[in-house]
Structure 1
């Protein structure tokens, strides 16, 4: 991180605060009292990153962002990834069209780290991972499975917390608190891009009821969205049409954009008082989705491994089925369930207890249509079931909280301790035999397997598990009225690789009642999952130079061939997190924080360099190259988060300004993986995401209508050109998007909301990489590249 830039950002934040305070101090005492009365309301109690029962956002020992249901509703998308990308400055999510499973399960990063280095909780309990192993093998939770309409608030802890929560909490923690508010709400929403595509319709319903101290909320959502396309016709498709005027070549032959999507989500959240201090609580989230995306077009004049006649299949040619070529259609069907039940209560005024059990499962079925297994000739089907990936997680938790009152201290010391058992299971189900069959045509060079994505073979299928046992101790001690110390220690043992112990020290000093300094140091880890430890996969792609298909294989680290090529047993990624910051609030409506952080990661997870298959080695899947997972990769991430909020009154109306800014830089420190040793891969890794991201919003609320204006800023970033020599990289400049939204209360029970995201219809520079395939804007962009989006929704409450 550039220290001068950090100092400038910090100084600017404090100068802005002082200017606002000084300007606002010119109000008369009566006006100041009125503003203080309206804006200095008690802050919400947070439950993330602390086990003290009365911590607020201002007095936590580490930075915690809190987003209300109104904040969540201010973002048009019902995909929680998009919501967080607009609300959290260091959170970035990509679209990645035509990127295999990642077009459906989108990777999202916090502070530029791997998607699976952020822990996701629901109501304070771990949410299960997706079954997809994405870029560099990352296996993260899929936030798109959680319905936004069922959320009461979101707490984002921007600090390492493995010592408190276990594996994955390196970049931070996202805790989703489900709604339990009584009442009924129904919302219908329609949106569409300015280009006329991507139409989306959604209906959301929730009903909450209370009887005594008992609460139950049920909810349901259904959504359907059309695909988008930001595509030009491929040059080779134009040439094919010119050379064969008798053919009807589709324009475009393949589509770059968002997939066709249908989804349904249902669930409940409940709590029941069983008498005294004992409460039974439970929730369930169930989601189903179907989605389809294009794959690369196969040109009949150049795809010689598909379009070839031979005596093996006399009189048969793929042209009889696909005379103008074909673009395989890749489909994803997901079924996701997460269920939890628990009991909590108190043994005494000082000692509270909480036990729970949960089950999470994500299953993804893949299929391919508009395809062919050319090696099977005329016996090949044109549609294939490719198989299923399943991630299952079972958790048992026992937590205890003791308020230790000491005569020397004005407030009690909070002692939290507990234990956890977690079982993870990963399953691979084989696809149709035809999806991975090597037919007789392979002998003369015809491609085996379903073209576009081979199915999981019976040799890849299997079931693997891992158990872990953990125990933790968490202490927060109010040394004085101004000074608080915290410490946490967690021991965890994994059946597949052994044990790990992590700790955290944190402190907060209140210089004044409204200004405090805080900091922490912690160690952390992310354990390899059963899917990463045991599975192998096959991927097909297209060479951007030759436009020919290639097939690469990723072997498990226990495969004899992978071991011969240098694969070693996987071990946990480890981190050292350091943070230091200040936070403030005033009775005049001004609050905010500035936090610096330094995260050192060792043994980071990645894929090895690719190797050619050695001569004489059996290669039934016809791999052109193979690789495996590896730990050889270290990084340092440094950055600064600046958050500010100013709330004031204009008569009886409220005006709220919010600023969120993040500067983040990751550098590779060394290692033996391709990221560390290949200068091109290293540059792409270090500069693939913007180092700066910011959001500035202004909200104006009256009794009957409200307006919101938001500016989203993304700094410059770098992508690959796909060239082996010459201009290897393409630099994309900074982008900013302007969003407008408004709402009107038709009656006290009915409201209408409407808005435009990307009002000025801004697009980034056109991409060089994969332009030969018709792509216009980089698929690796850290923002939406579909242009202006318009939406309207109607809500009725009972």
Structure 2
């Protein structure tokens, strides 16, 4: 079993663990050797050398095995990483449009699209969703956890090695290629009685003839919604004023969406002889989900309920007498296909050529709604349109082991070239979903109420090409010292070229203790979706409870240009890291890494502008904004990670720990976040500065037990009102998870677990009470309470 030299421990915790283990552990030589050997797992992320391990890599890389991944109950890879990686935070964001289903995740507190995701060492495509501040990141929920052999997380800037997006780090997902089969069925439910979920995971690996190896994967999951909601005060008042009506309680639901998903995939290799190998993988996913929107109150001035002579005798109350909460639907289809050839031109020179295609398409719908401006001609269900992200990539890489006189090991020289095409498309929804009907002249709300559809003028397709060349060298100066350098040139069709570099070094003070550090520049290129699209959104002011409609314009839109929009440029970074790592024969290993990341021209949304009088406003925007290179930041932090594995009695004890401290400050900028104090507070304090995990597992005979403690530091939330933010500070949270597995036979096992055993909830979100919400929608952790699960696994 691979040791995770990455999970969680402050130095004090590690010292305490070591003292306990020294007092109780079996100190036999074979146990020490087993523990030491397990530290030496070969990694492929952050280096192009073929013999780097976690201990001797030049940058911090965490490795999580299939067993580590399976120890987390969720099949959502975001949740898995949130429990395993110290600086990884993912939010649920109920009732936040598309982000309910494509959840934003951050590494080291940076934007979701500033972490590069690879599958088998090749770039994984982005989601079609543009989230907060326009972030467009890969959706890790589309990758089935049952297909994963291990995950490598590089916690260092790597744009000079991999290109755009690798500012915070790189997550490399290695697909399973083992032989044999495994089937797992799981049922889970929250102790509140909701959120029932059923999952089925299957994997089967086999040989086809003597030279082909194929692994097949399949998953199916279904989960009911959760609700942590109180009845809205205005709904209580509405019921009192209309006792003859039966008002639902609650009128709207805050919680996880109803969701169904299916995943299929394969991972295959074919030995063609003469050191030539063909390889391919494919991942396919479909999901279908539904989420609530804010309730529309017939009595409190909502424009949808106005009476007008334009539609004599027509009243929305005849359709929705007790108000309505629109139902927002999300259907996703996702695929990633890759094929390649690799071989050797000589003993020292290897080559690898591959091509990949990725696509994410999201169809949006809205039910239980209306376009009041159309009057009695309005439907109550709408197709809102489709967003599609497509990426094509061709890569050729070479690796040369150059033997130099005087050096005990060869210099590793890697070089290559890459072409990438990225396109983004918007398909218009039903005309009724974005129509401004005749009733708008009398003040009736236009568009499908809750989420306007993509209009014909917003639809289209745009693309961007990029060409890159790169080189990477690692030089072993001696048995103790290694230096590395990388450079990458990349030219983009939409904004020009960029050159990035990286220098790194490692010095081994003893065979078990080393210092390491790196300096690099990085970038994140604007995407076609960010460069070219317009969007419309609706929100609810928690003070006035009135709906407002906002428009986000493309930077090339004449109105946006008139308001100050300029062409988008890449975000650019300078990364500096310094750390130490250690291991010993007793089974103790760990690392401490300091980092400093300076980012300039960060991407954001401009301040909101009222549409000037006399300017055409066909979609009836209350306000408009545009994307901009807005501000600069400095992120500082430290990762402390460690692991201790020893035999204890007749069993094996594994202690892992990790702690991250992360702080981001705004250094300055042009507008919006940089100049607005409310926005600055939200940005700098929206995530906990501290996050930690400690876990202990013990295997003996047929039993395996796990105890995991999770810690999240304090953070600040705001209402997000159109005007006048209200802030609330939330204290630190601690969660305890327990699980036990029993082997029924050599190939069958049963596991029972409880996440959040103590049923902890955060402080209530006081400023959201007007909407019935109990716990903040922006919490960096699950706010649904205790979750119990049972799963059965059989291997064959």
When normalised by structure 2's length, the TM-score is 0.97
Say which of 97, 105, 116 aligns to 1:100: 97
Q: 2:226 is paired with a residue of what secondary structure?
A: coil
Of 11, 32, 37 in structure 1, the residue corresponding to residue 33 of structure 2 is: 37
- Which stretches in structure 2 are left out of the alignment for 5+ residues? 1-8
Q: Is 1:409 aligned to 2:407, yes or no?
A: yes
Q: Report the equivalent of 1:147.
A: 144
2:68 pairs with 1:71: yes
Indicate yes or no: 2:198 matched with 1:201: yes
Q: Secondary structure at the match of 1:603?
A: strand
Identify the match of residue 116 of structure 1 among 104, 113, 118: 113
Given the alignment of the two structures, is residue 714 of structure 1 paired with residue 712 of structure 2, yes or no?
Answer: yes
Alignment RMSD: 1.5
Structure-2 residue corresponding to 1:478: 476
Question: In structure 1, how many angstroms separate the alpha carbons of the residues matched to 2:154 and 2:700?
Answer: 32
**Deviates most, 779-788 or 761-770:** 761-770
Q: Does 1:135 align with 2:132?
A: yes
Secondary structure in 1 matching 2:270? strand
Three-state SS of the structure 2 residue aligned to 1:101 is: helix
- The counterpart of 1:421, out of the listed 405, 419, 422, is 419
- 1:258 paired residue number: 256
Regions of 4+ moved over 4 Å? 12-28, 721-727
1:740 to 733, 738, 741: 738
Per-residue CA deviations over 1:97-129 (Å, capped at 9, x if unaligned) read: 000100010000000000000000000000000
- C-alpha distance in structure 2 between counterparts of 1:127 and 1:94, whole Å: 21
- Equivalent in the alignment of 2:4: none
Quick one: distance in 2 between partners of 1:64 and 1:426? 33
Q: Find the counterpart in structure 2 of residue 568 from structure 1.
A: 566
Post-superposition offset of 1:768: 2.0
Give 1:699-778 correspondences, 5 Å limit.
699-721=697-719, 728-778=726-776
Distance 1:762 1:31 in 2: 39
Q: Kindly indicate whether the alpha-carbon contact (under 8 Å) linking 1:127 and 1:141 is maintained by their aligned counterparts in 2.
A: yes
**1:402-440 alpha-carbon deviations (Å, 9 max, x no partner):** 000011111000000000000000000000011011111
The answer to whether the 8 Å contact 2:296/2:302 transfers is no
Distance in 1, matches of 2:597 and 2:358, equals: 30
User: CA–CA distance in 1 between the matches of 2:302 and 2:230?
Assistant: 24
User: Whose RCO is larger (CA < 8 A, sep 6+)?
Assistant: 2
Corresponding residue number in structure 2 for 1:445: 443
* 1:24 shift after superposition: 6.0
CA contact (8 A) 2:348 2:402 kept: yes
- For residues 252 and 794 of structure 2, the distance between their equivalents in structure 1, rounded to whole angstroms, comes to 41
Cα displacement string for residues 245-277 of structure 1 (whole angstroms, at most 9, x for unaligned residues)? 111111100000000000000010000001111
Do residues 336 (structure 1) and 334 (structure 2) align?
A: yes
Matches within 5 A, 1:34-433: 34-42=30-38, 43-210=40-207, 211-433=209-431
**Pair 14,372 (structure 1): closer, same or farther in 2 beyond 3 Å:** closer
Distance (whole Å) between structure 1 residues aligned to residue 723 and residue 373 of structure 2: 35
In the alignment, which residue of structure 2 is the partner of 1:4? none
Structure 2 vs 1, CA of residues 474 and 725 (structure 1 numbering), >3 Å: closer, same or farther? closer
User: Contact between 1:267 and 1:286, CA under 8 Å: does it hold in 2?
Assistant: yes
- Verify the 8 A CA contact 2:21 2:646 in the aligned structure 1: no
User: 1:545: how far off?
Assistant: 1.1
SS at match of 2:655: strand
| 8 Å Cα contact 2:18/2:644 also seen in 1 | no
CA distance in structure 1 between the partners assigned to 2:119 and 2:510 by the alignment? 34
CA distance in 2: counterparts of 1:548 and 1:389, whole angstroms? 28
8 Å CA contact retained: 2:704, 2:742:
yes
- 2:620 aligned partner: 622
Contact map agreement 1:607 1:673 (CA 8 A) in 2: no
Aligned partners of 1:286, 1:368: CA distance in 2, in Å? 25
Q: 1:574 to 1:651 in 2, by over 3 A?
A: same
- The equivalent residue for 1:495 is 493
Are 2:54 and 2:62, in contact at CA under 8 Å, matched by a contact in 1? yes
What is the alpha-carbon distance in structure 1 between the residues aligned to residue 671 and residue 58 of structure 2? 37
Cα offsets for 1:203-258 (capped at 9, x unmatched)? 11111012534310001000000000000000000011000111111110000000
SS of structure 1 residue aligned to 2:766: coil
Query: So what's the TM-score if we normalise by structure 1?
Result: 0.97
Q: Which runs of 5+ in 1 are unaligned?
A: 1-11
Match of 1:9 in 2: none
Aligned mates of 1:96, 1:769 — CA distance in 2? 16
Residue 674 of structure 1: how far off its partner (Å) = 1.2
Aligned residues: 786
Q: CA deviation at 1:33?
A: 1.5
Within 2, Cα distance between the matches of 1:620 and 1:418? 49
